[in-house]
Copies of this chain bind each other. A is one copy, B any other.
Amino acid sequence: MSNAYGRTHYCGEVRETNVGEKVQLKGWVQKRRDLGGLIFLDLRDRTGLVQVVFNPEVSKEALEIAETIRSEFVLDIKGEVFARDEKTYNEKISTGKIEVHADEVTILNKAKTTPFLVDDEDVSEELRLKYRYIDLRRSEMQETFKLRHRVTKTIRDFLDEETFLEVETPMLTKSTPEGARDYLVPSRVHDGKFYALPQSPQLFKQLLMVSGFDRYYQIARCFRDEDLRADRQPEFTQVDIETSFMDQEQLLSMMERMMASVMSVSKGIDITTPFPRMTYDEAMARYGSDKPDTRFEMELVDVTEIVKDSNFKVFASAQQVKAINVKGAADNYSRKDIDKLTEFVKPYGAKGLAWLKVDAEGISGPIAKFFSEEEIAALQQTLGSEAGDLLLFVADAKNVVASSLGALRVKLGKELDLIDQTKFNFLWVTDWPLLEFDPESGRYSAAHHPFTMPLRDDLKYFDESPEKIRAEAYDLVLNGYELGGGSLRIYERDIQEKMFKMLGFSEEEAREQFGFLLDAFEYGTPPHAGIAFGLDRLVMILAGRTNLRDTIAFPKTANASCLLTEAPGEVSTDQLLDLNLQVRL
């Protein structure tokens, strides 16, 4: 109730303890009901709703004004708080045991009929985005942005406590050819030259370590001109962190305490630290994913050895055969349903999906006949299967097996409601590969970025088998989403040179792309390490939403336009002339 300037209380904060008090409230009309000569209004502000009653016995004038009032009018109301009849308690709202009898009402502003009712759940997203300012009035939205504020504040407080300095890095910076597409900003002063909006403050935060800032953070807006998916936005917000002189263990443990603080403040949940850790290899092997959702089991089981001599040629000849045991689901999936699952895995490269159903007598299914009794027994034992289980197999190259079965596992987990939605499973995935091999170009590229430190134990692989080199890189996964990731950075010249050579850069090319950073690295660079978290996604998970747009006040659609402001828009010829640009026809 504190700080309610311009009124005595916020609407949602009037309580039984206020009965008998005169209050002044300001807010929006959610709904008006006329009943037996009285008028009832639900008055709304960001704290919730309160029922206001207009009664001719209290004030005839107020009632007369109330008769002209419609939804979404903005009101200034004075009145007295009364306890409601127990029969009329409204348990759905925080103020459901009281009501305010208005003796004075001022219409601060009128409203046209809104394109949709604020509490209407059944409105297209397009309409919501066009009238975002009405959509944002929904209590669900208001709660999401309160949560976002609280999460942000908690992170800032934690990092401040740990002596991090918040430093702002430039938005108008230089285009780098690596990574995703840059948004470009033409320069008016420098003909034909462009700034780029940052994909992340990566280079600047490393420079701040070179400057001795020791611990840096920024909640930074980042930009990627990508083809958009449901969970991408052209601009997104990143909790960006860099530290000097800390090792991986110290950094991860600090980040765990930060997340524990976020969970405690935002959700009232005490999460256990340290978080479980899993190497990249183990995550891929057990879950077919580098961001496993560990809230349910159904792990991928390698049965290559068991079936390698079977009569089922597809299995016997495959690089790898893995299976998931869909417990008790044999009866849930008809042959037709399984056909659909087969279609589902195809985009992941799987040529097919083999299946077996387990019953009291043994196994059935079109491929059952190919296996010996020993093979069946071994499969059953390895998969821990019992009557009623459905076994799904993919036989293919390792990466195809992982991605198709991994995706199928997640799909089935949701479909069969195996996921405990109250759980928040944090997981570190460590020891990522340093390099990715592109068979087309025959070249290696950096799996993270060219400044990621290799594991010292793996330096020996540089010449002979670079694909074996692991990186001092780590991702934080929450409930199957990648929350963020980071790495220790290379700070020694000889390792950096090896890395560039491995990436096929000549010395000149490296200099052209990263010149100022390489220069900086020669003037006294401390060992440093960092991490970055996607704030939009973190808030999305904590708010129990599945769409990033719900966590961004004014988001863009899938084709990067804003339905509210109609950005991007036309600009004037003068503006283009100023920039010395013309649009191609």
Contacts and interface: CB of A to CB of B under 8 A. Distances in A.
Nearest to A575: B184
A268 B559 CA distance: 51
Copies in the complex: 2
Given A45-B212, A174-B565, A163 B575 contact: no
A359 B397 CA distance: 101
A580 interface: yes
B210 A171 contact: no
A37 to B, nearest CB: 27
Contacts of A146: 165
A565 B173 contact: yes
A126 B556 CA distance: 40
Which secondary structure dominates chain A's binding surface? loop
Given A3-B163, A171-B235, A568-B193, A579 B204 contact: no
A112 B73 CA distance: 69
A208 B247 CA distance: 43
Interface in A473-499: 491-492
A186 interface: yes
A257 to B, nearest CB: 11
Interface stretch (A51-59, A130-138, A335-343, A364-372): A130-138
A442 to B, nearest CB: 22
Contacts of A142: 212-213
Contacts of A167: 145, 148-149, 553
Chain A residues touching B, range: 35 or more
Among A168, A214, A245, A525, chain B packs the most CB atoms within 10 A around the CB of A168
A582 interface: yes
A355 interface: no
A208 B553 contact: yes
A447 interface: no
Interface of A: 2-3, 5-7, 26-28, 44-46, 72-74, 108-112, 114, 131-134, 136-137, 142, 145-146, 148-149, 152-153, 156, 160, 162-163, 165-175, 177, 181-197, 203-204, 207-208, 210-214, 221, 223, 225, 234-235, 237, 243-247, 250, 254, 491-492, 516, 519-520, 522-527, 552-554, 556, 559-562, 564-572, 575, 578-584
